[in-house]
Amino acid sequence: MRLGELRHRLLPRGPLDLLVQFALLAVAYTAWRYARGAVDSGMGISFSHARDLVSAERATGLLIEPNVQHWAVHAGWPAEVARWGYANLHFKGSCLMLGILYFGFRGSFGFVRNAVFAAMAISVIGYALFPTAPPRFLPELGLDPSSSVTGNNPLLSHPGDALFNPFAAVPSMHVGLSVILAGSLGMLVRPWPLRALFFAYPLLMTYVVVASGNHFVLDAVLGVLTALLATGVASLLARVNPDWSFGGFPRRSPSADVETQPEPEAAPA
């Protein structure tokens, strides 16, 4: 493959587009972190909401967080998977999947990017309306709150840190973003082992957030719902700009950019 063809395949809209998309994502992520950190309804209501979730899960048979974590800690390596996964997979995995989408499936990147932005906005509404303490902070559940198990900050407050909010748990964006990003890649890649890997990724993330004690099962369910709503928003935006549709603009080979010259007409006999 020639250098020009490789450049066109990786950067079909040129290097400036790559810089613009990176800047949009960086600004959106930073704004989301600050907005999440600015939501502060106090510990009392956050713990009250957490116990409401406990009651709801107990009534529906979904209160499995203590059993899952106790099994993982007893077995050893499953707890390490949950700890490492919570500390590393969310941000790094999301960046990796966004990179794969941009360089491998640029035509669908606009749709997925818009879905990610919409999910961030929806999640902030959830954090403001229903601030909730994670299950690791409820002593009655018997979960281990240490960072060696949770992969997260064990503190309830961190004065002076505008990005810190331990009560931004509903919905779980670990699960929500994994559904958007991995689900999109699962529909785009062709080899079935890769499709299976991407479609299984949100299930792994759900295990990670539950076993580490950072989220309730209902947080994960609401994360999935957030992803579905955000995908709906992205679909509406795609009607405004076809380039934002899933599968967007088609790729063209460099040779297609060269105007074909008409053949001269034959001289009359």
For the chain, give every domain's residue range.
14-248
Give the position of tokens 């990610």: 116
Structural tokens at position 76: 């050893």
pLDDT band at residue 1 under the 50/70/90 scheme: low
Percent of the chain with pLDDT over 70: 87
Burial of 181 (0-12, 13-18, 19+ CB in 10 A): buried
Helix, strand, coil distribution of the chain in percent, nearest 5: 70, 0, 30
Least confident among 115-119, 184-188, 238-242, 252-256: 252-256
Is-contact 202 183, C-beta < 8 A? yes
Structural tokens at position 9: 């395949």
- Which residues contact residue 43 at a Cβ distance below 8 angstroms, ignoring those fewer than 6 apart? 133, 156, 167
pLDDT band at residue 259 under the 50/70/90 scheme: very low
How confident is the model at residue 60, as a pLDDT? 95
Could you read off the pLDDT of 97-137 as tens digits, one per residue? 999 999 999 999 999 999 999 999 999 999 999 999 999 99
Backbone angles phi, psi at 143, to 5 degrees: -85, 155
Average pLDDT over residues 151-173: 82
Backbone angles phi, psi at 42, to 5 degrees: 90, 155
The vertex-119 CA angle with 152 and 156, nearest 5°, equals: 25
pLDDT band at residue 267 under the 50/70/90 scheme: very low
How confident is the model at residue 12, as a pLDDT? 78
Q: Global pTM?
A: 0.87
- Which residues contact residue 241 at a Cβ distance below 8 angstroms, ignoring those fewer than 6 apart? 110
Is-contact 153 166, C-beta < 8 A? yes
